[in-house]
Amino acid sequence: MTAAIRLGLLGAPNSGKTTLFNALTGLRAKVGNYPGVTVERREAAVSLGARAAVVIDLPGTYSLEPLSSDEEVVTRVLAGELSAAPDALVVVADACSLERSLPFVAQVLLRERPTCLVLTMTDELAARGGSLDLPRLERALGIPVLGVVGHRGRGLDALVRLLGEPEGWSRPVLLPPRDPLERSHWADSVFASVVGERPGAHRLTDAIDRWVLHPVAGTLLFAAVMVTFFQLIFAWAAPAMDAIDAGIGAGAAWLHAALPPGLLVDFLADGLVAGVGAVIAFLPQIVLLFGLLYLLEDVGYMARAAFVVDRVMGRVGLEGRAFVALLSSYACAVPGIMATRTIPSPRDRLVTILVAPLMTCSARLPVYALLIGAFVPAVPVAGPLGLQGLVLLALYLLGGVSALVVAAVLERTLLPGAAIPFYLELPSYRMPSAKLWLSQVWGSAWAFVRRAGTIILTVSVVLWVLLQFPRSEAPAGASPEQASRTALEHSFAGTAGRAIEPLIAPLGFDWKIGVGLLASLAAREVIVATLAQIYASSDDETSLRAAIRADVDPRTGRPVFDPPAVAALLVFFVFALQCLSTIAIMARETNTWRWPAFAFGYLLALAYTASFVTYRVVQALTL
């Protein structure tokens, strides 16, 4: 048996390349990253007849003259710089837009590797009344040409036979011209010689687009789809997440009951199981978000959504496709940041990732609810709107507006690389394939568990250690609440909370809030449980609200949570990146710790400055 042949799949976005890859490889694809770049690397080992092969799905590109890092990956893989160079190249092109793809085919031919051309969606070409002379195209190009219908599996057997024998592929006698202009003329003449009938308009697409892109109906549809996204992550994922929460709680309780009390069971139940819970708690959101995202992508709506909203995002230097990611981040930044994969420009994608944590995620709600419930009077302002609701709305708006402002600033200042031009292909609407859809959703859920989950789990365990050690004995006769307060006070985190007090005093925060802020590095909502522990109160909100309202600084005799400090704390939570899951996913998606570190730093600086200003302003107003 010979060594596995490496086959590189090349083609434009929307060419049906990924459908073909999935049809050839099923669920066997290994997803990783190319060294040093953020671009996803997808390859799968398959057997083609008797031959073992590795199929590599290269990022979609319209040209081999790279403008973006995605496209650069293609040229670097072809040159053998990022991995072993492919032995043979498979160019995938949509049969309906062969005319546009031929110059690309010419660019690939100039690489002088064994090459074949696979034309997808030949059924659509026929349905639109178009025809191509494939044998003549083979002769004109000098390479094997095969027509398939990827999502129906038609032509796949012939394709497998062809791909198993790259040694037998014919090679062009004469290479296409190297000069781009001459090459385009060459492509035009090849096309003219093989085209029978040009495909007519895709009537269904035209009919649907009349409504989907209609100024009024299209905008309403866009709003409805975005509201659905939001609901999906915010509300519909909640029952599954609650069930996971309950399951984790039950698991921990079972461990406590089954094992003798001590450090081991504490670690297993409160450190490890809780950490695992923190990972899988994201899965409902991720599966739902990607379920809808891929469905809309496969149908052809995502490009239309980007088209509708591009103008708005263009104002801050981003593009339409960033909108979905930012909106999803209103529920949770983790799936939101994963959704940035649909943004082709690496620079826009990075900016979107960096500002996503500013969108008011659902983990901030418990914190806002506690503080607003305790300190903002429930007085009506106008009609059904109360002061509490208005404060909440203001916090949401502050987050969203800040994200757009920061995005505009980052686009204009810090980030490397020139802007790449905006262009967006509107593919024809297609019936999605359930198999492809399932493999896409499964792929992203699994990638999250494997890549971000490991980091989240590790850091949760480390934080647990910091909150538990060094151990201290509670005084005899202390209630469980007091014992847990003593343990926290003497832990590393408790010590650190006191140590940072001078730093946070200008914001009006005392050491107890400091401990809460440190603990909430794991996840924002953890500050509620931590404050409950510090105030030795039970977790229920009414008693905790009463406890923090009653707390008085022994040195000044003033309440710890006075209005300026509460306002400053709320503002702090609008900005600070207190979420290790977000940091972990940022590290995975950007393939470096540099950008999460930058995001953490700039958001902390922003949070500190804004809190300080808020504290001073509210102090001046209330004196």
Partner 1 sequence: MNVTLPSSRTQPLSRLAPGQCAVVKVLDGSSPIGRRLFDLGFRPGTRLRVIRRAPLGDPTTYELRGSRFCLRRSEAERVGVALLPGA
The region that residue 85 occupies, defined by phi over 0 for left and psi between -120 and 50 for alpha, beta otherwise, is beta
Among residues 24, 46, 91, 96, which is the contact residue for partner 1, using CB under 8 A? 96
**308 scored as a contact of partner 1 (CB under 8 A):** yes
Among residues 40, 70, 99, 348, which is the contact residue for partner 1, using CB under 8 A? 99
Question: One symbol per residue from 212 to 251: x for binding partner 1 (CB under 8 A), - otherwise; what is it?
Answer: -xxxx-xx--------------------------------
Question: Looking at the chain, how many residues does it have?
Answer: 623
**Of 174 and 181, CB closest to partner 1:** 181
Question: One symbol per residue from 39 to 68: x for binding partner 1 (CB under 8 A), - otherwise; what is it?
Answer: -----------------------xx-x-x-
**475 scored as a contact of partner 1 (CB under 8 A):** no
Residues with Cβ within 8 Å of 378's Cβ and at least 6 positions away in sequence, in order, are: 386, 387, 388
Among residues 10, 420, 526, 527, which is the contact residue for partner 1, using CB under 8 A? 420
Q: How far apart are alpha carbons 458 and 452 in whole angstroms? A: 10
Sign of the C-alpha dihedral computed for residues 341, 58, 175 and 196 taken in this order: negative
Phi, psi angle pair for 582, to nearest 5°: -65, -45
Residue type, 63: S
H/E element, 501? helix 501-504
**Of 168 and 215, CB closest to partner 1:** 215
**614 scored as a contact of partner 1 (CB under 8 A):** no
Is the separation of the CB atoms in 22 and 100 below 8 Å? no
**Of 215 and 384, CB closest to partner 1:** 215
Q: How far apart are alpha carbons 172 and 183 in whole angstroms? A: 15
Among residues 422, 469, 492, 598, which is the contact residue for partner 1, using CB under 8 A? 422
> Within a 13 Å sphere around the CA of 378, how many CA atoms are in the beta-carbon half?
5
- Name the one range near partner 1 by CB under 8 A: 224-232, 235-243, 414-422, 430-438: 414-422
Q: Cβ atoms within 10 A of the Cβ of 16, count? A: 25
Q: What minimum distance in Å lies between the beta carbon of 440 and partner 1? A: 23
- Name the one range near partner 1 by CB under 8 A: 49-57, 206-214, 343-351, 484-492: 206-214
**199 scored as a contact of partner 1 (CB under 8 A):** yes
Quick one: how far is CA 548 from the chain centroid? 37
Q: How far apart are alpha carbons 598 and 612 in whole angstroms? A: 21
**Of 145 and 504, CB closest to partner 1:** 145
Scan residues 287-306 and list those touching partner 1 (CB under 8 A). Answer: 303
Sign of the C-alpha dihedral computed for residues 509, 510, 516 and 517 taken in this order: positive
Among residues 134, 175, 424, 478, which is the contact residue for partner 1, using CB under 8 A? 424
- Name the one range near partner 1 by CB under 8 A: 97-105, 270-278, 352-360, 536-544: 97-105
Question: One symbol per residue from 175 to 194: x for binding partner 1 (CB under 8 A), - otherwise; what is it?
Answer: -----xx--x---x------
Q: How far apart are alpha carbons 167 and 88 in whole angstroms? A: 9
* Dihedral of the alpha carbons of 238, 240, 242, 245, in degrees to the nearest 10: -140
Q: How far apart are alpha carbons 614 and 602 in whole angstroms? A: 18
**Of 147 and 497, CB closest to partner 1:** 147
Is the separation of the CB atoms in 113 and 143 below 8 Å? no
Q: What minimum distance in Å lies between the beta carbon of 390 and partner 1? A: 29
Q: What minimum distance in Å lies between the beta carbon of 209 and partner 1? A: 8
- Name the one range near partner 1 by CB under 8 A: 50-58, 168-176, 278-286, 310-318: 310-318
Q: What minimum distance in Å lies between the beta carbon of 129 and partner 1? A: 13
Structure tokens at 405: 């402002």
Residue type, 110: L
Q: How far apart are alpha carbons 604 and 583 in whole angstroms? A: 13
Q: What minimum distance in Å lies between the beta carbon of 355 and partner 1? A: 21
Question: Which stretches of the chain bind partner 1, using CB under 8 A?
Answer: 62-63, 65, 67, 96-100, 103-104, 180-181, 184, 188, 198-199, 209, 213-216, 218-219, 303, 307-308, 310-312, 314, 418, 420-426
